[in-house]
Amino acid sequence: MTTLDKVAPGTQVRIERVDGNIRLLTRLSSVGLVPGALLTVERADKNRPVLVYERDTMLAINRQECASIYVEEVA
Amino acid sequence: MAANYSIALLGQPNSGKSTLFNGLTGSHQRVGNWPGKTVEKKLGTCERDGVSYTVCDLPGTYSLSAMSEEERITQDYIAAGEADVVIVMVDASQLTRSMYMLADYAGARVPCVLVLNMMDVAEDQGKRIDANLLEQRLGIPVVPFVANDPSRYGELLSVVRRAADEGTTLSSEAIAGIYAQQSPEWREAYDRLAQTVGPDERFDAVWQAAHEASATHDGAVTCGSARLIWVDQMVAGIQSEVADKAPAFLTRLDKALMSARWGQLVGILVCLGALLAAMVIGAPLMMLGQIPVMLSEPIATGLTAMGAPAFIVDFIASGFLVVCFYTLSMGGFVFGVALVFGLLDEIGLVARISYLFDGTMSKLGLPGKVMMPFLSGFGCNIASVTGMRVVDSWGQRVLAIALSWAVPCGSTLSVIPTIAYAIFGFGGMFCVLLLLAVGIPLVMLLTARVFGDRLAPKSERAGLIMELPPYHKPHIKPLLALAFRRYTGILKRAFKTISVVALVFWAFSYSASGVINDSIIYTIGTALEPVSRFFGMGWKLFMAFLAGIMAKESVLGALAALYGSAADATLISAASGAAAAGFSPAVLATQVAPAEAMAFLSALMFNIPCVMVVGATHSETHSLKWTVLISLFYFCLALCISFCVYHVCLLVM
């Protein structure tokens, strides 16, 4: 298990666990980022938010928040 | 049933709520803040087929969780029964994600209509959406919609009336089953609440249990998952998809923007290109400003010939007409900026720019998209102040407006180098560049430090997670209407503010004999000399500095009046250039000490931009308190800068 900010671009991952305060958790679930969700990391450039594709949408998530999203790679 | 319906618009930021709100209510809007809150309250009215509607544009939120001020206000508004019907707006082109809000609404006993906005985008993407099937599943009216197409409003309103009359509410039955299955926290809360929640409360026990459970860490996750499962069940088989295709040039632009190495550069180029386009579009309107300038001579001659008293002629020719010039030229630029930025926002480029500059701007507590309005500030600060409407939260918007004051506008950038060159030659130009490069970031950081915690507390900061919407085809007509409404609004307000200030400045500087020593300003200025000296400026430069608050162009006129002997030069007549014509700032070099001149220039750069910007700030923030606070801050800051620069220069030079 790793965190979303450490995933290489092009990888498909499943969310295992999310940490953080309730405000962040609510915001994450409102865009579909809950345990079990499948997403593809599109870009992970240095010093930029991580770009993921999930639920019809391209999402940009700040690195700091990515560090509290634990994911597992999907084969 | 009364022939007056109260509608509330509920949806995520960027769901098209504001477009619908503006389209429905036009100029019949009252925008203010919720009492005691840093959240904007937008109310409007409209009439159609003899029925009147009150429309409330609720703050854009992602859920009803009451975790932020926006969400609490939204929840309270619905709970209080202020709305007869709630319109939930979702983005049809991103249906599975944007339906979350509706899942969170299930269990509210206020009639509801689901609006599938941006159907045109969905269709462009090759998505077919079966609205009838969705309507059967949800049990509430579902309206396929395009918010910027006014021909669809009549149908929407008739559906709204039907929903209100028939009381079609969104049942919580289906989602209750999922909550029960997914969330032990919900089960626990529901067991307690099922008996106590009355049938007349606007949120039923299922909803209230979910919200109690969501206040805990585990409950927030399990209830969130339950809502997503509900969305998937409702949407299953609703949409069929053909391959997604964006126009080729946008795909290429997107590649360039997203590039790690070139992205920011391309982003800035796009912003500058937009700025240039705004100027070209605004140019015809800005030209209108030349009319009062051209008229000032003939009018003055005409009035004198008619025997009007000299001071009235002077006021009209060098006061009133100059006011018209300023107002018209700035309004034109604002129109161009509103149109071009609106266009970029609708296409989806603003969100990309936001992504590019988010890292940089988050240091200031702002989302990345403020980059565009900031850059437009180099043209005119009114444009940057009004451009901050792209910022969703009110607090962040006020902060962004405060920071945008630090960007020197086009006039500042023409006046300051002129004076610097006259006094210091090329070395002066270098000093100005240094002042720009070092000063702007420093002032912004300082302003963010001073106001940031109160306007955008770290705990409330949004923009951590941002969606990059698919590229849209823009609709020019509603954008034009919006830009034009903003233009006329700015004209009216700016004209009012600037007329009053111009009158005051004119009266103070008016001298019956034409010699500055006979004016009120001379008396005041010389009396203030000890104070202004303390900050590094003699009274003449201090008066010119004050004139800069009226408009930066006035500085040259003021200098001409104070240092030259031009008889007809007053503090506000420089706009036409006539007053300054016989005056060369070079005479300053002989009359002003270098340290004092440097102090003056640096203070001028970061002072209150001009009274029109103060007026625009007041109308955009609708907060007198914050407008005064920001103005005071910049005024004091300018004096402090002057003080520091003066003393440093004394040591160095």
Q: Total structural domains in chain A?
A: 1
Cα of B214 to nearest chain A Cα, Å: 8
What pLDDT was estimated at residue B580?
46
Tell me if chain A has a CB within 8 Å of the CB of B466: yes
Neighbours of B52 (CB within 10 A): 12
- Give me the residues paired with residue B40 across strands: B33
User: What pLDDT score does B574 carry?
Assistant: 44
Distance (Å, whole) CA B506 – CA B631: 22
The pLDDT value recorded for residue B184 is 92
Beta carbons of B143 and B153 less than 8 angstroms apart: no
- pLDDT (tens digit, 9 = 90+) per residue, B82-121? 899 999 999 898 888 889 999 999 999 999 999 999 888 8
Nearest residue on chain B to A54, alpha-carbon basis: B97
Instruction: Please name the member of A24, A26, A49 whose beta carbon is closest to the beta carbon of B358.
Output: A49
- Which of A38, A47, A57 to substitute to test the interface with B, most B CBs within 10 Å? A57
How many C-alpha atoms does B81 have within 13 Å on its Cβ side? 4
| pLDDT band for position B579 (cuts 50, 70, 90) | very low
Smallest Cα distance from A38 to chain B, Å: 13
d(CA B621, CA B337): 19
Greater model confidence, B360 or B647: B647
Q: Please indicate whether, in this complex, the C-beta atoms of B359 and A49 are within 8 angstroms of each other.
A: yes
Distance in Å, alpha carbon of B36 to nearest chain A alpha carbon: 22
Pick left, alpha or beta for residue B118 (phi over 0 → left; psi -120 to 50 → alpha; otherwise beta). left
Whether residue B95 lies within 8 A of chain A, CB to CB, comes out as yes
> Of B361, B378, B379, nearest to B370 (Cα)?
B361
Question: How much is the mean pLDDT over chain B?
Answer: 84
Mean pLDDT over the full length of chain A = 87
For the entire predicted model, the pTM comes to 0.78
DSSP 8-state code for residue B251:
H
Closest residue to A25, CB basis, from B224, B359, B468: B224
**How crowded is residue B151: how many other Cβ atoms within 10 Å of its Cβ?**
7
Contact residues on chain A for B469, CB-CB shorter than 8 A: 57
pLDDT digits (tens, 9 = 90+) for B353-384: 888 888 788 888 888 888 888 888 888 898 89
Binned at pLDDT 50, 70 and 90, residue B641 comes out as: very high
Using the structure block, give the residue that is written with the tokens 């009451």: B66
- CA nearest to B544, candidates B534, B553, B536: B553
Stretch 1-30 of chain A: residues touching chain B, C-beta under 8 Å: 18, 22-30
Structural domain count of chain B: 1
> Which one of B62, B93, B260 has the shortest CB-CB distance to A27?
B62
**How confident is the model over A42-56, as a mean pLDDT?**
82
- CA-closest candidate to residue B345, choices B376, B314, B390: B390
A60 and B96 in contact by Cβ < 8 A? no
Distance between CA atoms of residues B305 and B297, nearest Å: 12
A contact test, residue of B465, B467, B472 with most A CBs within 10 A: B465
A25, A32, A45: residue with CB nearest B97: A32
- Centroid of chain to Cα A39: 7
Residue B559 CA to residue B154 CA, distance in Å, equals 59
For B594, the token pair is 């270098």
Query: Is B96 in Cβ contact with A55 (below 8 Å)?
Result: yes
pLDDT attached to residue B246: 57
What domain range includes position A64?
Answer: 2-73
Burial of B295 per CB tally in 10 Å (0-12, 13-18, 19+): middle
pLDDT of residue B623: 87
SS (H, E, C) B75-87: HHHHHCCCCCEEE
User: What is the enclosing helix (H) or strand (E) of B15?
Assistant: none
Quickly list H helices, B510-586: 520-534, 539-550, 554-563, 578-581
Separation CA B44–CA B116 (nearest Å): 22
- Provide the pLDDT for residue B565: 52
Q: How far apart are CA B608 and CA B580, in angstroms?
A: 23
Say whether A26 and B63 touch across the interface (CB within 8 A). Answer: yes
**C-alpha distance from B211 to closest chain A C-alpha (Å):** 11
Contact between B15 and B60 under an 8 Å Cβ cutoff? The reply is yes
**Which pLDDT does position B578 carry in this prediction?**
41
Q: Which of A31, A46, A47 sits opposite B97 (nearest CB)?
A: A31
What's the Cα-to-Cα distance from B175 to each of A52, A70, B479, rounded to whole Å?
A: 28, 27, 39
- Report which of residues B26 and B599 the model is more confident about: B599
Q: CB of A44 within 8 Å of any CB in chain B? A: no
- 3 state SS for B604-615: HHCCCCCHHHHH
A interface test, pick of B250, B464, B466, B472 with most A CB neighbours within 10 Å:
B464
User: What pLDDT sits at residue A12?
Assistant: 92
Highest-pLDDT range among B289-293, B349-353, B471-475: B349-353
CA–CA distance from B609 to each of A19, B243, B577, B613 (Å)? Answer: 45, 50, 20, 6
For residue B619, pLDDT over 90 is answered with no
Under 8 Å between Cβ of B465 and A63: no
Contacts of B591 (CB under 8 A, 6+ apart): B563
Q: How many CB pairs under 8 A join A and B?
A: 116
Give the burial string for B316-335 (b: 16+ CB within 10 Å, else e). Answer: bbbbbbbbbbbbbbbbbbbb
- Tens of pLDDT, residue by residue over B499-514, are 777 777 777 777 766 6
Q: Scanning every residue of chain A, which has its alpha carbon at the shortest distance from the alpha carbon of B260? A: A45
What are the backbone angles phi and psi of residue A60, rounded to the nearest 5°?
-105, 120
Do strands B127-129 and B239-241 pair parallel, antiparallel, or not at all (unpaired)?
antiparallel
Rounded Cα distance, B498 and B504, in Å: 10
pLDDT of residue B247: 62
Contact B221 A25 (CB under 8 A): yes
pLDDT tens track for B2-55: 578 999 999 988 788 888 998 898 878 888 777 777 778 889 999 988 899 999
Distance CA B416, CA B607 (A): 12
Strands B4-11 and B51-57 come out as: parallel
Choose among A46, A52, A61, A49: nearest CA to A10.
A52
CB B609 within 8 A of CB B410: no
Say if residue B464's pLDDT is above 70.
no
More confident residue, B146 or B587: B146
Question: Would you give the DSSP letter of residue B618?
Answer: H
Residue A26 belongs to a domain with what CATH number? 2.30.30.90
Confidence of residue B314 (pLDDT cuts 50, 70, 90): confident
How far apart are alpha carbons B90 and B104 in whole angstroms? Answer: 13
Could B62 and A46 be called an inter-chain contact, meaning their C-beta atoms sit closer than 8 Å? no
Query: A32 touching B, CB under 8 A?
Result: yes
Between chains, do A65 and B95 touch, taking CB under 8 Å as contact?
no
- CB–CB of B600/B642 below 8 Å? yes
Range of lowest pLDDT (B353-367, B425-439, B631-645): B353-367
- Cβ under 8 Å to A: B residues 196-225: 214-217, 220-221, 223-225
Residues of A in contact with B100 (CB under 8 A): 29-32
- With contacts defined as CB-CB under 8 Å, which chain A residues touch B260? 43, 45-46, 48
Query: What torsion, rounded to 10 degrees, do the Cα atoms B631, B632, B634, B638 define?
Result: 140
Task: State residue B1's pLDDT score.
Answer: 46
Question: Does any CB of chain B come closer than 8 Å to the CB of residue A60?
Answer: yes
Q: Which structural domain range is residue B76 located in?
A: 4-241
CB B565 within 8 A of CB B311: no
Pick B217's closest partner by Cβ from A25, A57, A60. Answer: A25
Measured in angstroms, the CA of B351 and the nearest CA of chain A are apart by 10
Q: Give the Cα separation of B95 and B101 in Å (integer).
A: 11
ipTM here: 0.91
| Cβ <8 Å between B362 and A62 | yes
* B477 is a domain residue: no
Q: Where would I find the H helices in B63-172?
A: 69-79, 95-98, 100-105, 119-124, 131-138, 153-166
Contact B76, A35 (CB under 8 A): no
Question: How close B504 gets to chain A, by Cα (Å)?
Answer: 50
For the segment B477-486, the average pLDDT, to the nearest whole number, is 82
